[in-house]
Structure 1
């Protein structure tokens, strides 16, 4: 996605608004994810994967769901970071049984 400064600002503001809403709605996002890092990541992903037209025609609800999915994946990546070795074994065993 090639953009000018005005388009960049518009994309950034829209993503900031959506991330703020999602973090308000879901305390897990707010407690475990960095607002700034998520916004930066979403801007990069949108610029890489969407054309300006696709981004601009995406409804707020579609952008919200797109963002929620990426934020959920990011959140899942944090699972286990604070596990003790014993907790990691329990978690690994539980995953293997599924």
Structure 2
């Protein structure tokens, strides 16, 4: 299919298994549009465009690097997840 939709595809996996699955999904996604829904931001770091939604509205969009540099909602979620508060961010 030309579009691949992934909804929390790796949310219940450990880090090593997540990495293996992400590598496989990256290969499957070549030549396709991949839409990934994720709370675990590590799964979307390499995305061409990240869209941050809040209450159904787009509040930010850009690459991982651009969004971190803006120091907005995405950057704060990223910092909290890197500190180990993943459960709190996803709530």
TM-score (norm 2): 0.25
Computing the radius of gyration from Cα coordinates, the structure with the larger value is 1
Question: Which structure has the highest strand share of the two?
Answer: 2
Instruction: Say which structure is richer in helix.
Output: 1
**Structure possessing the higher relative contact order (Cα contacts under 8 Å, 6 or more residues apart):** 1
